[in-house]
Structure 1
Amino acid sequence: MEPQKIVFISFNQALHGLIIKALSRFNLRGYTQWEELQGAGSNTGVPHLGTHAWPTLNGALLVACTEERAHKLLDALAEIDRENPLQGLRAFMWSIERSI
């Protein structure tokens, strides 16, 4: 079995459609999604807290895939982030040691 990776994606909800299109482009059907998350960027941007003062919220996806697809997905996500610098998008990849 090819080595598997996990990609965790945290993003402004406004980017949801673009993220799903990126998953589809690489035939990544399986994912876990969280729709309403709060957070703040570590360097720039405004908080996404779902409050009156900071009404925006984040979403997140967890995707398990091959290492090759994970790298392609991260490249596509980096492009989305470059094209939407004020929205907020972060992605992280790590290895799956074991799964069922």
Structure 2
Amino acid sequence: MKAVFLSYNQALTDRVNKILDDEGIRGFTRWALTEGRGSVDGEPHYGTHAWPSMNASLLAIVDDEKVAPLMEAFREMDATTRMQGSRAFVWNIEQSM
């Protein structure tokens, strides 16, 4: 199993939900309001007057075979919304209950 962490502009939540549905990923935890800024470029997402947009972040624990299709769908979304600064990371899960 793998942990997949997604961070994206909250305006993309419906698109991310569709990706999860299309990939058959039901279980996840979402943090609706997260702040951040990209490591290379893009505008900060701080929820302030100067930088009003906000991110959302999501953690899903998925079977290994679901990781590649999920990451590819997320990459495709990111390619069409480049300035939003979406990011995805994958970790191994040692145990679960």
Task: Give the superposition deviation at 1:70.
Answer: 1.1
Q: Which residues of structure 2 form unaligned runs of 5+? A: none
* 2:19 alignment partner, one of 11, 17, 22: 22
List, as ranges, runs of 4+ consecutive aligned residues in structure 1 with deviation greater than 3 Å: none
Task: Give the superposition deviation at 1:71.
Answer: 1.2
Higher share in helix = 2
Superposed CA deviations along residues 39-71 of structure 1, whole A, max 9, x for unmatched, are 100001010000000000000000111111011
Task: Compute the TM-score of the two structures, normalised by the length of structure 1.
Answer: 0.95
* 2:91 alignment partner, one of 61, 69, 94: 94
Instruction: Tell me which residue corresponds to 1:74.
Output: 71
Q: Which residues of structure 1 form unaligned runs of 5+? A: none
**Identity value in percent:** 44
Within 5 Å, give how 1:55-70 maps onto structure 2: 55-70=52-67
> What is the Cα-based RMSD across aligned positions, in Å?
0.6
Task: Compute the TM-score of the two structures, normalised by the length of structure 2.
Answer: 0.97
